[in-house]
Amino acid sequence: MNQIIGSSEQTRRLPREWEAGMSMARKYATSGPRYTSYPTAPQFSEDFDLTRYRNWQGRREHHGDPLSLYVHLPFCHDICYYCGCNKVVTRKEGVAARYLAQLSKELEMQSQIVGKDRPVTQMHWGGGTPTYLNDGEITELMHSLASRFRLLDKGYREYSIEIDPRTVSSATIALLKGVGFNRISLGVQDFDERVQKAVNRIQPYTQVAELVEATRAHGFRSLSFDLIYGLPYQDHVSMAETLRKVISLRPDRIACYNYAHLPERFLPQRSIDRHTLPEPEEKLLLAQMISATLQDAGYRYIGMDHYVLPDDELAKAQGESRLQRNFQGYSLQLADDLLGLGVSSISQIGDFYLQNARDLPAYYQMLEDGQLPITKGYRINNEDKLRRRVIMSLICDLSLDIAEVEREFGIDFRVHFHDALEELNPAFEDRLMEFDAGMLRVTAAGRPFLRNLCMPFDEYLEHHSRSGKAQFSATV
């Protein structure tokens, strides 16, 4: 398939399906949400009345329903120039210890409110760099969680952690398994040395390969890689080599993100020379190449930048409506409530979205004052529920049963969503989406455009676009 690798002469002889994909990408290029929630985070408000949530929790009986936890650990040793995450770059002694002390106060308060005895079927530690914590601190935090929530050590559970390969040894991998993690996500980004230097993140292939070996040796259930395309000096030649190395390590899941260069919004990106970034055409080519190469290597594209091996649970779950999308991306639907812990984390509990203070001083101060560190929130209404159901079904199941939605929400789908369906006309004409026996289906050609296909169902998008802020990244 890869006539393009090697020289610019050859890049003109692209496989016909790549050409078609690139021309479609040009047509649908815009910016839009990744829909890790609906409504999306810009809709959360500081005017939210937290007592409404507290009162609702006071009346609620959760009957031991499963719970999902997200723990945000914000510190990093060094800055990666492409970074748009909420993090604190520091090497100051004691910062992690202070954070853990404050976090344990939040755990105590939240476990009283949300329920101590609910089985935690999913847990994810993200950042920042969770492995900024040393081995002792990792163990301490896991104990702190276990003393406030019902962590599981048997039965089906997904406990995952994001790892910066530069920060851990094989011994730490053993410790992570020992304290209960069964999934690992490695931030790989790119294996090319020149690219790594330009983004200030040097991590040789051998370092990653050793960790991969260690995760296999310790029997982790699943290994994910994060990659980024659109970084400085990336081109189809360097990307071919990165993909060859990635495929040789055979992670179960690969998330491949499109780098958005927004230096006016993310200060570290000012260290990137924009002239070293791939031109838009080259970037489109990279996207096509990643998709074709990974699928040729046996990965299945489940949508929204995610590729998985066919025997991975996410691949199986997609056909069985057991897939969900939340702030951590795609996962199995194992719990309805997600409790976010730590600075800037977001919870989705019942009809509520709740967001913690985004900066450390505010987060610490609220906990010192004995308050929940929540600064924003949103309670979804019936229209939100309907639209969330439509958008999440398209993203997770790649289809929507119209009759089922009509029954569930008492609407006539074609009337209620008349404008959205009109807006989707070009997508129907381009066969990105189709009506088929009462189902609205995303076709194989439509998968790379999932965000575009969901956006017409988003009631708030127009309002956000009018606000003039660059809030969302490129859709393709």
User: Could you give the CA distance from residue 419 to residue 44 in angstroms, rounded to a whole number?
Assistant: 25
Specify the residue, 88 or 474, whose C-beta has the smaller distance to ligand SF4.
88
Specify the residue, 110 or 185, whose C-beta has the smaller distance to ligand SF4.
185
Binding letters toward ligand SF4, positions 29-68, x by CB under 6 A: ----------------------------------------
Specify the residue, 48 or 229, whose C-beta has the smaller distance to ligand SF4.
229
Q: Is 185 in the site for ligand SF4 (CB under 6 A)?
A: no
| Residue 146 is labelled as binding a ligand | no
- Bond before 39 cis per omega within 30 degrees: yes
Nearest distance from residue 173's CB to ligand SF4, in Å? 18
Specify the residue, 45 or 200, whose C-beta has the smaller distance to ligand SF4.
200
| Residue 350 is labelled as binding a ligand | no
Question: Could you say which residues in the range 318-337 bind ligand SF4, by CB under 6 A?
Answer: none
Number of residues that make up the chain: 476
Instruction: Select from 94-102, 125-133, 253-261, 282-290 the region that touches ligand SF4 (CB under 6 A).
Output: 125-133
Residue 263 CB partners (closer than 8 Å, separation 6+): 269, 270, 272, 274
Contact 111, 148 (CB under 8 A): yes
Instruction: Select from 123-131, 411-419, 435-443, 467-475 the region that touches ligand SF4 (CB under 6 A).
Output: 123-131
Specify the residue, 80 or 142, whose C-beta has the smaller distance to ligand SF4.
80
| Residue 162 is labelled as binding a ligand | yes
Residue 50 CB partners (closer than 8 Å, separation 6+): 354, 372, 374, 377
User: Could you give the CA distance from residue 299 to residue 284 in angstroms, rounded to a whole number?
Assistant: 20
| Residue 99 is labelled as binding a ligand | no
> In whole angstroms, what separates CA 450 from the centre of its chain?
15
Q: How far is CA 208 from CA 240, 248, 250, 320, 324, in A?
A: 18, 12, 12, 33, 29
Nearest distance from residue 231's CB to ligand SF4, in Å? 12
Specify the residue, 76 or 173, whose C-beta has the smaller distance to ligand SF4.
76
| Residue 226 is labelled as binding a ligand | yes
Binding letters toward ligand SF4, positions 128-147, x by CB under 6 A: xx------------------
Question: Site size for ligand SF4, by CB under 6 A?
Answer: 10
Specify the residue, 166 or 221, whose C-beta has the smaller distance to ligand SF4.
166
Nearest distance from residue 185's CB to ligand SF4, in Å? 11
Nearest distance from residue 124's CB to ligand SF4, in Å? 15
Question: Could you say which residues in the range 164-183 bind ligand SF4, by CB under 6 A?
Answer: 164
Instruction: Select from 1-9, 121-129, 232-240, 344-352 the region that touches ligand SF4 (CB under 6 A).
Output: 121-129
| Residue 189 is labelled as binding a ligand | yes
Specify the residue, 197 or 463, whose C-beta has the smaller distance to ligand SF4.
197
Choice from 32, 115, 126, 127 touching ligand SF4 (CB under 6 A): 127
User: Could you give the CA distance from residue 306 to residue 323 in angstroms, rounded to a whole number?
Assistant: 13
119 token code pair: 């089985």
Specify the residue, 343 or 402, whose C-beta has the smaller distance to ligand SF4.
343
Nearest distance from residue 318's CB to ligand SF4, in Å? 28
394 token code pair: 């398209």
Question: Could you say which residues in the range 249-278 bind ligand SF4, by CB under 6 A?
Answer: none
Q: How far is CA 428 from CA 192, 386, 420, in A?
A: 39, 22, 12
| Residue 454 is labelled as binding a ligand | no
Instruction: Select from 15-23, 58-66, 126-134, 299-307 the region that touches ligand SF4 (CB under 6 A).
Output: 126-134
DSSP-assigned beta bridge partners for residue 349? 352
Nearest distance from residue 53's CB to ligand SF4, in Å? 29
Specify the residue, 128 or 446, whose C-beta has the smaller distance to ligand SF4.
128
Q: What are phi and psi of 433, to 5 degrees?
A: -145, 150
Question: Could you say which residues in the range 76-105 bind ligand SF4, by CB under 6 A?
Answer: 76, 79-80, 83, 85, 87
User: Could you give the CA distance from residue 107 to residue 128 in angstroms, rounded to a whole number?
Assistant: 19
Where does residue 221 rank: exposed (0-12), middle (13-18), buried (19+ CB within 10 A)? Answer: middle
| Residues of this chain that bind ligand SF4 (CB under 6 A) | 76, 79-80, 83, 85, 87, 127-129, 164
Residue positions in the annotated binding site? 70, 76, 80, 82-84, 127-129, 162, 189, 201, 226, 260, 346
Residue positions in the annotated binding site for S-adenosyl-L-methionine? 70, 82-84, 127-129, 162, 189, 201, 226, 260, 346
